Each structure stands twice: as C-alpha cells, then as structure tokens.
C-alpha cells in the first residue's frame, strides 16, 4: 500500500466527526491558544504552571528497551516495525538481571522512574509474567515503574496493577483524523480502549504523542484536544518530536518550527494543568536555549539517560550542566 506523507489536512466534515459534543476543550479554543502571540502564550503557560507546580522542579525518567524490533505493527514513525527496512536487529526479551543492572544505574544517576518498553502489538501471557517480575524487582530498588507493552486486555491491566505498576505508557500519538494515515494495523479506538483499561485498573496513565509528522497546527490542536478531554487527563503527557528514521514512511518528515514545538508544550501545559508534561524524544537535537524555552512553557519532566529505545538521548552530563545553569531541581 502506498501511503502519502506528510499528513494531509482533514476536510471540515472529518473534523466535525472527531470533536466530542461536550468536550471540555473545543478544538477551536485550542487553536486559538496556538494562535496567540508567542510571548502571550508563554505568559499564560507560566501562570498555569506556577499555580499547579513548583516552577523549576523537573522529574526524570530513564527508558530501557526490554524487547527491541520485530513488531507486527506498521506505525509510520517507528524504527521497530518489521514492515519497515530500518536495519534494526530484532532482539529477544531482556533477562531480568540485565534489566536490573540498567535500573540500578538509573537509580544511581538520580532518575525517579524507570520505563521499560517492548515492541509488541500486545504482550503474550508468558511475556507479561516476565515483565511483572521486572516491575516487582525494579520497585524494590526504590524506583517508580512504567511499562509500555502495546495493547492490554482487562486481565492484563489488572495483573500489572497487582504487581504495583505505577504508570502505563500508551500514546494516542496524533490527531484522530490523521491516525489512519500513520498507522493501519490498529485503530485509535484500540488505543483508547487500552487507556481506559489501564485507568480502570488503577494505574496512572502516561499518554501523549508525536509532533513533526507534517500534522500542522490543526493536527497538533487535535492531538492536545484528545488528551485534555480525557476524564481525567493523563497524569503524564510525553510530547515527542519525531525522530525521522531512514527506512520508515516518515523518513522525510521531522521538520517543525522550534517555536511551534514550544507552543505545543505551552498548550499542553495550559489545557492539562495538573499533568506532568514530558519533553521527550528529540531532545538530543535541541540546543540548550530551546530546551530552556520548553521548561518555561511548562515542561516539567524529561527522559534522562544515554538512550531512548532504539536511539541515543541527550547527554546526561550536559543535562545536569543545563539544570545547574538554569537552577532547575530534579524531583
Ligand atoms: N509498542 C508500544 C506502543 O506502541 O505503545 C511501546 C513502544 S512505542 C516505541 C512507544 C511510543 O514511542 C510511540 O507511541 C511513539 O509515541 C514513540 N515513538 C516511537 N518512535 C518514535 C520516533 N521515531 N520519534 C518520536 N517518537 C517515537
Ligand atoms: C514516549 O512517549 N516516548 C518514548 C516512550 N514513550 C516509550 C519512546 C521514544 C522513542 C524514540 C525513538 C526510539 O528510541 O526508537
Ligand atoms: Fe510496534 Fe509500538 Fe513501534 Fe508501533 S510504535 S511499530 S506498536 S513498537
């Protein structure tokens, strides 16, 4: 199948279909926030941020890919899909002792949460049992735990909750009208169903998306609207800047005006005042000044450590130098 990228703007009719009737945040209101003069938007984001969080406090999470590559899904941005030729080697599920080595290092580096990611459409029974052991053992180290394993059924969500899992990451990724252009092997509704099961099981929800896929300001407003209109919004909202991997359908995308990226953080902050907004993938390519603007816009969490899942992350020493220069405090 030939897919057209970057994303095509939706028609007025398809937009009308995706806006919930009683939405807390109307797409038009979110678009109006995006359209504010940059300094006005930043001022409003700062006001909201300071009313709900201690300014300057930033939470750090460390990522580990516990099962890399060979994924059945066709997510257009992902290096781990078996349908794209990215040259990534498929790896088996990492043994527990190796996971714990990484977790201990994360704890020593000062991270408060350890996030384990697996390239699955959904976990098999045996795999989930192994991940549950990882969650229990990582918790014993005094770290918060997060996993991202693909779609879950009710029983799986319950088992993870019983293991003491703190957060489950499952992103909505983009605006509803673009979802089918980026991913065809599962639907946005499948993702929303998993998020609901996670929520019902009593696990904190981590859900966000990717910008820089050619979605434009309207697409970004649609992404934020979905998250902000959740009841309640996710506790943790990762905003990823597309890492355009050669061999993926989105290899040619990834360009977003840096100020539009900052605007996305600011709008997430204003519309989800109680959520941690995480400055996520793409930080390695950002300068200190751009990251400082993201923190000013209300980002109060980062992925910290050498690697994201399949690619490098910003240098940890450079991160700590930046925290010191800006007077940011790790929590
Ligand atoms: N398979 C699970 C899933 O899809 O939820 C977990 C792993 S998946 C890699 C987790 C998230 O990473 C995706 O939902 C997406 O938001 C983000 N991500 C993946 N590839 C990315 C890329 N190239 N650039 C930015 N974010 C990316
Ligand atoms: C999220 O929103 N971003 C993280 C985490 N959740 C699992 C993943 C980013 C992946 C970046 C590309 C890679 O390393 O393959
Ligand atoms: Fe698989 Fe997740 Fe990558 Fe999609 S984003 S291809 S589900 S690992």
What integer pLDDT is reported at residue 149 of this predicted model?
98
Write out the catalytic residue numbers: 71, 75, 78, 115, 146, 206, 278
Q: Is the pLDDT of residue 4 over 70?
A: no
If phi > 0 it is left, if psi is from -120 to 50 it is alpha, else beta; for residue 328 that is beta
What integer pLDDT is reported at residue 1 of this predicted model?
41
**Mean per-residue pLDDT for 115-137?**
98
Q: Is the pLDDT of residue 5 over 60?
A: no
Residues with Cβ < 8 Å from 224, sequence gap 6 or more? 25, 30, 264, 267, 268, 271
150 CA to centre of ligand 3 in angstroms: 7
pLDDT band with cut points at 50, 70 and 90 for residue 253: confident
How far is C-alpha 323 from the chain's CA centre?
A: 22
**Measured distance CA(158)–CA(155) in Å, rounded:** 5
First to last CA, the chain: 46
Q: What is the C-alpha radius of gyration for the chain, rounded to an integer number of angstroms? A: 19
pLDDT tens readout for residues 282-325: 999 999 999 999 999 999 999 999 999 999 999 999 999 999 99
pLDDT band with cut points at 50, 70 and 90 for residue 240: very high
Pocket of ligand 2 from Cβ distances under 6 Å:
63, 79, 117, 148, 169, 171, 208, 238, 240, 243, 280-281, 308-311
**Mean per-residue pLDDT for 42-58?**
97
Closest CA to 298 of 113, 111, 47, 36: 47
What integer pLDDT is reported at residue 9 of this predicted model?
63
What ligand has the least distance to the C-alpha of 74? Answer: 3
84 CA to centre of ligand 2 in angstroms: 17
Q: Is the CB of 75 within 6 Å of ligand 3? A: yes
Ligand 2 atom nearest to 307, measured from its CA: 14
**Count of other CB atoms within 10 angstroms of residue 151:** 17
pTM for the model: 0.94
- Per the CB < 8 A criterion, the answer to whether 49 and 235 are in contact is no
Closest CA to 67 of 89, 87, 100, 83: 89
pLDDT tens readout for residues 76-104: 999 999 999 999 999 999 999 999 999 99
Q: What is the 3-state secondary structure (H, E, C) of the chain?
A: CCCCCCCCCCCHHHHHHHCCCCCCCCHHHHHHHHHCCHHHHHHHHHHHHHHHCCCCEEEEEEEEEEECCCECCCCCCCCCECCCCCCCCCCCCCCHHHHHHHHHHHHHHCCCEEEEEECCCCCCHHHHHHHHHHHHHHHHCCCEEEEECCCCCHHHHHHHHHCCCCEEECCCECCHHHHHHHCCCCCHHHHHHHHHHHHHCCCEEECCEEECCCCHHHHHHHHHHHHHCCCCCCCEEEEEECCCCCCCCCCCCCCCCHHHHHHHHHHHHHHCCCCEEEECCCHHHCCHHHHHHHHHCCCCEEECCCECCCCECCCHHHHHHHHHHHCCEEC
**Across all residues in the chain, what is the average pLDDT?**
94
What ligand has the least distance to the C-alpha of 310? Answer: 2
168 CA to centre of ligand 1 in angstroms: 13
What integer pLDDT is reported at residue 2 of this predicted model?
40
Q: Is the pLDDT of residue 138 over 80?
A: yes
What percent of the chain lies above the pLDDT cut of 90?
A: 91
- Per the CB < 8 A criterion, the answer to whether 176 and 222 are in contact is yes
pLDDT band with cut points at 50, 70 and 90 for residue 19: low
What integer pLDDT is reported at residue 8 of this predicted model?
67
pLDDT band with cut points at 50, 70 and 90 for residue 255: confident
What ligand has the least distance to the C-alpha of 241? Answer: 1
pLDDT tens readout for residues 158-200: 999 999 999 999 999 999 999 999 999 999 999 999 999 999 9
């Amino acid at each position: 199948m030939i897919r057209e990228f970057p994303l095509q703007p939706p028609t007025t009719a398809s937009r009308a279909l995706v806006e919930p009737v009683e939405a807390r945040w109307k797409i038009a209101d979110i678009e109006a926030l995006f359209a504010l003069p940059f300094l006005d938007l930043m001022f409003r984001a700062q006001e909201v941020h300071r009313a709900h969080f201690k300014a300057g406090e930033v939470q750090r999470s460390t990522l580990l890919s516990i099962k890399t590559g060979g994924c059945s899904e066709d997510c257009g941005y992902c290096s781990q899909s078996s349908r794209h030729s990215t040259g990534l080697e498929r790896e088996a599920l990492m043994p527990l002792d190796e996971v714990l080595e990484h977790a201990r290092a994360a704890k020593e580096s000062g991270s408060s949460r350890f996030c384990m990611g697996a390239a699955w459409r959904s976990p098999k029974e045996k795999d989930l049992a192994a991940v549950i052991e990882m969650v229990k053992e990582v918790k014993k180290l005094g770290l918060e735990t997060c996993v991202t394993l693909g779609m879950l059924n009710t029983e799986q969500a319950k088992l993870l909750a019983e293991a003491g899992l703190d957060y489950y990451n499952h992103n909505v990724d983009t605006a509803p009208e673009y979802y089918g252009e980026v991913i065809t092997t599962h639907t946005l509704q499948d993702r929303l169903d998993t998020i609901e099961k996670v929520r019902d099981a009593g696990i904190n929800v981590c859900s966000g998306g990717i910008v820089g896929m050619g979605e434009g300001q309207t697409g970004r407003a649609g992404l934020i609207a979905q998250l902000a209109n959740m009841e309640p919004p996710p506790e943790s909202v990762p905003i990823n800047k597309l890492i355009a991997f050669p061999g993926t359908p989105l290899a040619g995308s990834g360009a977003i005006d840096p100020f539009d990226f900052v605007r996305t953080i600011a709008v997430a902050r204003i519309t989800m005042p109680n959520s941690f907004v995480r400055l996520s993938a793409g930080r390695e390519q950002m300068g200190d000044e751009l990251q400082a603007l993201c923190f000013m816009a209300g980002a109060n969490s980062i992925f910290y450590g050498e690697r994201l899942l399949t690619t490098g992350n910003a240098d940890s020493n450079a991160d700590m130098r930046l925290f010191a220069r800006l007077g940011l405090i790790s929590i």
